Amino acid sequence: MSYLELRNLQKRYTKDGPLIVDNMNLSIEKGEFIVFLGPSGCGKTTTIRMISGLEDVSGGDIIVDGESILRKKPRDRGVSMIFQSYAIWPHMTAFDNIAYPLKLQKIGKDEIKKRVESAAVAAGIEMLLKRYPSQMSGGQRQRVAVARAIVVKPKIFLMDEPLSNLDAKLRVSMRSELKRIHLMENSTTIFVTHDQAEAMSLADRIVIMYRGKIEQIGAPMEIYRDSATHFAASFIGTPPANFFETRIEKTGEGYRAVNEHIRYRIPASMNAALAPREGKKAILGIRPEFIDLSPRRESGPGRLCDAVIDLVEPQGSHSILIAHIGGTEIKISAPYSTDVTAYTQVSLAVKDEQAMFFDPDTGVRIR
């Protein structure tokens, strides 16, 4: 049995209202770092609030270490929650903020001192214990919130977009610190974010959520390389995948995905999956790094079409090239050494058969 299980979990805010969390089933192993990733309103924060006891459950069950926690009060569930707003007391020193949940548990002063100092060391704020929040930076205040969560030795850490109030540079360093603390404490962690870069860098597994449902669960690179749905492919990746509405057409050479501008010869490895869709529509998806370009018109496997580069955005390690195919904007990730300027005409092709196809009605990957 998994350490944390969500079984047909549901949440409605009114009796006949829509399901904010729609029959969610998820198993999490002890020590995993799970990231809930999705747009605002997809149900990810509501889910962790139900786990913590801050929201009532409309249906289903939450099992921790083999035991349902639905009837337990929040303080008895063995979870610690770190909020976006830090939620630390402005009139208390860092020491007292960290010690506060231990005092509520009537723990002795010597044990409190020992555990607070240990948590402060883990969070890297041992030199700040006498300071008040007004004397700290945003990153330091967030570390106090992390230390307060650590100090109670919870079964599960719940983190609700804890880095969103930090500047970009500090967010990068703090997510490394959170991962380090997670490994050091051997904790089970659920981290909520809409930032796919955070999800990719932190997660053992990502749970992509959309409209209250789980779209896909998997390791970061599994989801990136093998997206199960149109939404998953569009939400993860910077820039996201490019998409084209096409029709599957049979030719003497096999099958093609075609529209007014594209005639893409489908690799033989995909023929069996796409043959039943002959004459029907399919969404062609290609990630920016899998679009190859050459300076002259070419035919052959992988070819998409010709295009004119509208804009070049240097990124240091690579460049993002922007073009249009018909009315669709596409983005191409090219090596920094690629010598292409705006208004250059190029020939585009798909590298290494790295194309994805999705059902336009269901959004599910065609395999």
For residues 239 and 332, the answer to whether their CB atoms sit within 8 Å is: no
Burial of 179 (0-12, 13-18, 19+ CB in 10 A): middle
| pTM > 0.85: yes or no | yes
Identify the pLDDT of residue 133: 93
State the pLDDT at residue 250. 94
> What integer is the mean pLDDT of 207-233?
96
Q: Residue 172: what are its φ and ψ, rounded to 5°?
A: -65, -45
Query: What's the pLDDT at 298?
Result: 66
Q: Is the pLDDT of residue 338 over 90?
A: no
d(CA 6, CA 27): 6
d(CA 17, CA 141): 38
- Rounded Cα gap, residues 84 and 138, in angstroms: 11
Confidence of residue 307 (pLDDT cuts 50, 70, 90): very high
CA distance 154 to 359: 43
Domain boundaries, the chain: 4-235, 242-358
Confidence (pLDDT) at 184: 83
More confident residue, 163 or 113: 113
Q: What is the pLDDT of residues 40-52, one digit of tens each?
A: 999 999 999 999 9
**pLDDT at residue 354 greater than cutoff 90:** yes
Q: Are 347 and 291 in contact (CB under 8 A)?
A: no
- 191 by Cβ neighbours in 10 Å (0-12 / 13-18 / 19+) ranks as buried
- How open is the CA angle 275-278-280, to the nearest 5 degrees? 130
> What are 313's two structure tokens?
């955005």
| CB-side neighbour CA atoms (13 Å) of 338 | 26
Q: What percentage of the chain exceeds 70 in pLDDT?
A: 99
> Rounded to whole angstroms, what are the CA distances from 296 to 261, 318, 344, 353, 358?
17, 22, 10, 20, 30
The pLDDT value recorded for residue 168 is 81
What residues contact residue 2 under an 8 Å CB cut-off, 6+ apart?
27, 28, 29
Summarised one tens digit per residue, pLDDT across range 62-75 is: 999 999 999 999 98
CATH class of 4-235: alpha beta
pLDDT digits (tens, 9 = 90+) for 159-191: 999 888 778 887 888 888 888 888 888 889 999
The CATH number of domain 242-358, selected from 2.60.40.10, 2.40.50.140, 1.10.167.10, 1.20.1250.20: 2.40.50.140
Average pLDDT on 188-207 reads: 94
- pLDDT digit string, tens, across residues 128-144: 999 999 999 888 888 89
- Return the pLDDT at 233: 95
List residues bridging with 265 in a β-sheet: 256
